[in-house]
Structure 1
Amino acid sequence: MGIEVVAAEHGHAVVQMTVREEMVNGFGISHGGMVFTLADTCFALTCNHPTDDDGTVTVATGVDINFLAPTRAGDVLEAEGHLLQQNGRSGICDITVRHEQTVVVLFRGRYRTIPAPKEA
């Protein structure tokens, strides 16, 4: 999808993606699933520590997404994530997706840290 990681540290991440022609729907605007994937990628980077492998992974338990403005092919979208609250193995992150100065998506993700799956 061409997602570029700009910054990634525990509790904060920034990613960017340029909307390509094949990412738009029949109305000529970015397909919601594409913008969701950008936000979800930022969410994963925000709640998983990028360098600390303590034998766990952090996975989504649920998300809410609000599409606030359309975007189109050629637009560069930037998603920024912040850890809002962590309590034990559970937490909440907020992700904001912007095109230039316009907020196009607000995404709130809930997560749980679990033991890493055993490799087969």
Structure 2
Amino acid sequence: MSDIDVDAPLMHPILKNDYATQWMGIEVTKVADGHATITMKLRQEMLNGFGIAHGGMIFAFADTAFALSCNPHTGSEDSITVAAGVDINFLKPGIPGRLLTAVANRRQQSGRSGIYDIQVFQSVPGAEDEILAEFRGRSRTIPKRA
């Protein structure tokens, strides 16, 4: 399957009616079979009471990359792939105004089950991006509901 590099957000079919992803301002920068890269700016309304990224925002961001990497960018008429379970480890605080990047990769696929690793990075002015969180997702492919 070929890679798709896109210039505009919402180029993956599962994002067409994904209003949460639209609100978050997530942009798809790359999708391929078993891979996705997305970006998002960390805005004020995404912060917790400590003035850093709300963990739920980081989770939702990583979860979007997970979903994009699990489902074909060409769409499927018969099935969807959903989360069977996930774990996330927060390594650093998310700083307001920073650009976040999530990189998702399939590690293993066996039948209808898969394992995916997603790394979330944040930009650092004048330095290399730093890792913000590690997310591991376990997927399950199921029939699409009518």
CA distance in 2, matches of 1:83, 1:10: 9
Match of 1:41 in 2: 64
Give the secondary structure class of the aligned counterpart of 2:74.
Answer: coil
Give the secondary structure class of the aligned counterpart of 2:107.
Answer: strand
Large movers: runs of 4+ above 2 Å: none
Match of 2:37 among 14, 23, 47: 14
The letter of the residue matching 1:116 is: K
CA distance in 2, matches of 1:55, 1:113: 10
The answer to whether structure 1 residue 113 and structure 2 residue 141 are counterparts is yes
Give the secondary structure class of the aligned counterpart of 1:102.
Answer: strand
Unaligned runs of 5+ in 1: none
The answer to whether structure 1 residue 29 and structure 2 residue 52 are counterparts is yes
Match of 1:78 in 2: 101
Match of 2:119 in 1: 96
CA distance in 2, matches of 1:37, 1:52: 21
Unaligned runs of 5+ in 2: 1-23, 124-128
Question: Number of paired residues?
Answer: 118
Give the secondary structure class of the aligned counterpart of 1:60.
Answer: strand
CA distance in 1, matches of 2:45, 2:136: 26
CA distance in 1, matches of 2:59, 2:95: 15
- What's the CA shift for 1:52? 4.0
Counting aligned pairs with the same residue, the percent is 53
Match of 1:50 among 73, 76, 94: 73
What RMSD over aligned residues (CA atoms) do the two structures have, in Å? 0.8
CA distance in 2, matches of 1:54, 1:91: 20
